[in-house]
Amino acid sequence: MQRVVKGFCAVLLLGVLVAFMQSAVYGLGWNCGTVSVLYTTPTSVKISWDIGDCAEKDKFDEPYYRVCWKVKNATWDVCDYNMEVTYTTATEMVITGLTPDTTYKFVVWFWREGFSVFDWWEHVGKVFQTTPPEEVITPVTADWPECDHVDVHWGYSGTKDFDFYRVCYRKVWHSFSLTSCSLSSTSCNWTDGLKAGCKKVYATQATIPVDECSDYEIAVYGFESPTSAATPFGLIGVSTPACGLPCYYPDPIYIAFGCTTVFSTIFNGWVDHVNEVIGRDELYRLIGTAYEQSAREEFGEYAYPWPELVETLAREDGLDVTRDNSAAIQALLENMPAAYMRLDEMLPPATRLEDWLEAEYADEYGLLKELAEER
């Protein structure tokens, strides 16, 4: 009987020693499988593992694993409370909530059962991985514009290594598409004078040549290679000051009357549009009201009443303003621009001339603005 007890105790002690030594050996880095990193982001890491030669691996339909991780060199003891621990039957896992630009240690254990009189966790493997820095894009901004140039800046920190940047600009009326500048197939380093252009630069700053008294849009895109997708750094608008005298912005509609028949046709189309929206008689009434209010302010008691001015214009210039609202508004523009401005304020927003021109004839409106700026 004593021999049986002693024999049992010896087997028990041997099992304990084997289990302890096995765990100690694996804890020192002896792995029965492999652990690898599939991908990493600033705040997550995906790992996978293969249990390889781990004992008893074929015994279970769904093997059981323990996954532990911690910041590298942090105090820990195997998978104790100093580490984050998760249990799973899968052979891969995404660990989230990590800190950017930090090195982590990931350890995977496999549940051993029946190898000896005791069950324990067997060390599959470990892997170290550093999370990349968090990506921070500093949108493009501009210094205070000068009359002949604008300095723009932008910034980036993260994993992307930009080979070059494209800085694209245009006057707001120009037909050049800033979005096309983001396409790899688009050529760069060209310019349409001071109206629009694309510059290829290698630093996070650029100087844009501009015209005085003008409105510009500026966009920036970063490229990791000539064929890579573009990373946008934003779009901004700037208004340039005058180099000498203060900027003068004539109303584009005044320029239209000194231009081609095409613009006169567009103008007549606008008048027809207003006639349809508010009515021909109502528009004529507003024209008269705008004139009389402006005339009283400018000439006081000597102001011509609207009906008398209509008769005078009809006699001298042959304008039948009582039948043609387009001729009546033209009369305001030629004889009293302030009255036209007052009329424009009286009209509903959707029927105002500049709004209608910009909506219906974007290209022609841009040409009008260009002419206005040049004059």
pLDDT at 79: 61
- Residue 80's Cβ-count burial label (10 Å; 0-12, 13-18, 19+) is exposed
pLDDT in tens, 222-256: 999 988 899 999 999 998 888 776 665 555 555 55
Q: CA–CA separation, 79 vs 87, rounded Å?
A: 11
Lowest mean pLDDT among 28-42, 97-111, 155-169: 28-42
Between 321 and 224, residue with greater pLDDT: 224
What is the mean pLDDT of the segment spanning 187-207? 88
Whether 136-239 and 2-130 are alike in CATH topology: the answer is yes
pLDDT at 246: 64
The answer to whether 209 and 149 are in contact (CB under 8 A) is: yes
* Domain covering 2-130, topology: Immunoglobulin-like (2.60.40)
Q: Given pLDDT bands bounded at 50, 70 and 90, which one contains residue 24?
A: very low
Between 221 and 248, residue with greater pLDDT: 221
What angle is formed at CA 237 by the lines to CA 236 and CA 241, rounded to 5 degrees?
A: 140
Provide the sign of the torsion angle of the four alpha carbons 41, 42, 46, 52, taken in this order: positive
Residue 258: pLDDT over 60: no
Name the nearest CA neighbour of 342 among 286, 273, 272.
286
Name the nearest CA neighbour of 150 among 231, 247, 236, 246.
236
pLDDT in tens, 137-146: 899 999 988 8
Instruction: Kindly report the pTM of this predicted structure.
Output: 0.47
Beta bridge pairs of residue 92: 48
What letter represents residue 270's amino acid? W
**3-state SS string for the chain:** CHHHHHHHHHHHHHHHHHHHHHHHHHHCCCCCCEEEEEEEECCEEEEEEECCCCCCCCCCCCCCEEEEEEECCCCCCCCCCCCEEEEECCCEEEECCCCCCCEEEEEEEEEECCCCCCCEEEEEEEEEEECCCCCEEEEEEECCCCCCEEEEEEEEECCCCCCEEEEEEEECCCCCCCHHHHCCCCCCCEEECCCEEEEEECCCEEEEECCCCCEEEEEEEEECCCCCCCEEEEEEEEECCCCCCCCCCCCHHHHHCCCCHHHHHHHHHHHHHHHHHHCHHHHHHHHHHHHHHHHHHHHHHHCCCHHHHHHHHHHHCCCCCCCCHHHHHHHHHHHCHHHHHHHHHHCCHHHCHHHHHHHHCHHHHHHHHHHHHHC
pLDDT at 20: 43
Residue 1: pLDDT over 70: no
Q: CA–CA separation, 133 vs 323, rounded Å?
A: 72
Q: Given pLDDT bands bounded at 50, 70 and 90, which one contains residue 335?
A: low
- The domain spans of the chain are 2-130, 136-239, 252-374
Q: CA–CA separation, 234 vs 140, rounded Å?
A: 6
What is the mean pLDDT of the segment spanning 29-39? 81
pLDDT at 231: 93
Encoding tokens for residue 24? 């100690």
pLDDT in tens, 174-194: 777 888 888 877 778 888 888
For a pLDDT cut of 90, what percent of the chain falls above it? 18
Encoding tokens for residue 95? 């660990």
Q: CA–CA separation, 235 vs 225, rounded Å?
A: 22
Give the mean pLDDT of the chain: 76
pLDDT at 115: 45
What is the mean pLDDT of the segment spanning 330-337? 69
pLDDT at 21: 45
Residue 29: pLDDT over 60: no
Name the nearest CA neighbour of 373 among 266, 193, 194, 247.
247
pLDDT at 158: 82
Residue 230, C-beta contacts closer than 8 angstroms, at least 6 positions apart: 166, 182, 183, 184, 221, 222, 223
Residue 263: pLDDT over 80: no
Between 261 and 301, residue with greater pLDDT: 301
The answer to whether 231 and 157 are in contact (CB under 8 A) is: no
pLDDT at 305: 77
Neighbours of 297 (CB within 10 A): 12
pLDDT at 179: 81
Question: CATH class for domain 136-239?
Answer: mainly beta
pLDDT in tens, 94-132: 998 898 889 998 988 887 554 444 456 678 888 999 998
